[in-house]
Amino acid sequence: MEKHYSLKKAAELLGVTTQTLRNWDNAGKIYTIRTPGNQRRIPENEITRLIGPKLDIEKKTEHKPQRSTIEKQESYESTSFILINNDNYILMCKDAEVYDITNDEVLNEKILPGCMLKKTKSYPQWMETRYSKDTNFSSQRLMQSAFGLSDHEQVKSATGALSLSDCYWVKRQGEAVKFTDITPYEQFNPLANLFLSGKTDKRWIDALTLLKVESFWEIEPYNLCTALGLSNVPETQLTDDGIVLHNFTSQDIFFESMEQSGITDEDDPRDKAIESFKEHAAALFVIDYLVENNDRRMDDYGYLRDTNTGEYISMAPYHNFDWIWSGEAIALPDSAWQRYRSYIHDLCSRAKSIAGNFEYGTIIEKRADELLRI
């Protein structure tokens, strides 16, 4: 009987992410089967076809998915901090103690990262989702300028692993330092760029403004969203240096990606998004289809949460249209069609009617026609 692999195992063998495998399946590029519980399984002969018949599948399990444009032979297993002199380190959310890293003890459950609350990821695994091992060029240059040869541990100590996407940071137990002493929201610190994930070149100009360097083409999806009356988009503008996005997080509202929210490797994050965000998620996947964005990953969409209460507020604004006009379009999930077919068709009809206003209008019209025929 032929062996079948879970998405997580297959992703490890192939050196890709589980979302990439879902995208391949949706696009018909890989053969999968479904279990009675509707979970994807990939036959061994499909793995062999993709990695080559002469490779020993079982020996590839140590290969880690790698998307970085900057190759670096370094272990990231220490993202939970190397603890020195038996000091205790505490995960903070603003000035609230959330989790005792040293003793693996939850201190404030309501503002714990979703994946840790649901026990789908450990603290080190959660840290890997937000720490930029796919370091973009701006962050890499800043790191080398500030710390020499990419000293990641020193970076984490100096910054508290703080980012401008949320208000989580790490401090030594008993330290007098407060959130207001370190947060870029109060006084902008360029070191916040060091925890800016993703491989495209981007950097925070200040606490409210993100520059995506020379990403001029990315303005079109945002303009399309606005023309279609979709409100779930950040304020954007085109500059001589690239596209600029207004920060949609603050000291009171933070972003938690689908990857960080607690879904499992067997869950389809797009189905979860449809379930949680309804037509807002359906519209995002329609826009991705119309502009041929074929790399919508789990860290590219998710929730806005209340920093003080942990409450899940809404879907985060649409962001990251890095891989548009790819020549490929990822099929919408079945759950979107089942629940929002008429809404999808209405969006596509309106997109066709305004396609002539866009530089890539012929592609938008072509892709809209494809969805209208479904």
Whether 39 and 84 share a structural domain: no
| pLDDT one-digit tens code per residue, 298-343 | 889 999 999 999 999 999 999 999 889 999 999 999 999 999 999 9
First-residue to last-residue Cα distance in the chain: 37
In 20-155, where do the E strands start and end?
A: 33-34, 40-43, 89-93, 96-100, 105-106
Asked if residue 218 is part of any domain, the answer here is no
Looking at residue 10, what is its pLDDT? 84
244 domain residue, yes or no:
no
For residue 231, being part of any structural domain is answered with no
100 shares a domain with 16:
no
Predicted TM-score of the model (pTM): 0.77
Whether residues 94 and 22 fall in one domain: no
Q: What is the pLDDT of residues 126-164, one digit of tens each?
A: 988 876 555 567 777 777 777 765 566 666 677 777 888
Q: How many domains does the chain have?
A: 3
- Report pLDDT for 133: 54
CA 186/CA 86 separation, integer angstroms: 32
Instruction: List the chain residues with pLDDT less than 70.
Output: 1-2, 36-38, 52-87, 131-136, 148-156, 199
Q: Is residue 285 part of a domain?
A: yes
In the sheet that 253-257 helps form, which strands lie side by side, from edge to edge? Answer: 253-257, 302-306, 312-315
Same domain membership, residue 97 and residue 169: yes
Q: Exposure pattern of 17-30 as b/e (b: 16+ CB <10 Å)?
A: bbbbbbbbbbeeeb
**Residue at 327 is within a domain:** yes
Residues 182 and 299 in one domain: no
Q: Is 208 inside a domain boundary? A: no
Q: Return the pLDDT at 79.
A: 39
CATH number at 43 reads 1.10.1660.10
Residue 215 lies in a domain: no
Residues 313 and 361 in one domain: yes
Per-residue pLDDT of 33-58, as tens digits, reads 877 666 788 888 888 877 754 344 44
Position 85 scores a pLDDT of 43
Let me know whether 193 and 73 are in one domain: yes
Tell me if 342 is assigned to some domain: yes
Q: Which residues of 291-310 are buried (b: 16+ CB within 10 A; e: fewer)?
A: bbbbbbbbbbbbbbbebeeb
CB 90 within 8 A of CB 173: yes
For 292: left if phi > 0, alpha if psi spans -120 to 50, otherwise beta; the answer is left
Do 86 and 40 belong to one domain? no
3-state secondary structure of 274: helix
Range of the domain at 144: 68-199
**Which pLDDT score, from 0 to 100, does residue 280 have?**
97
Residue 362 shares a structural domain with residue 264 = yes
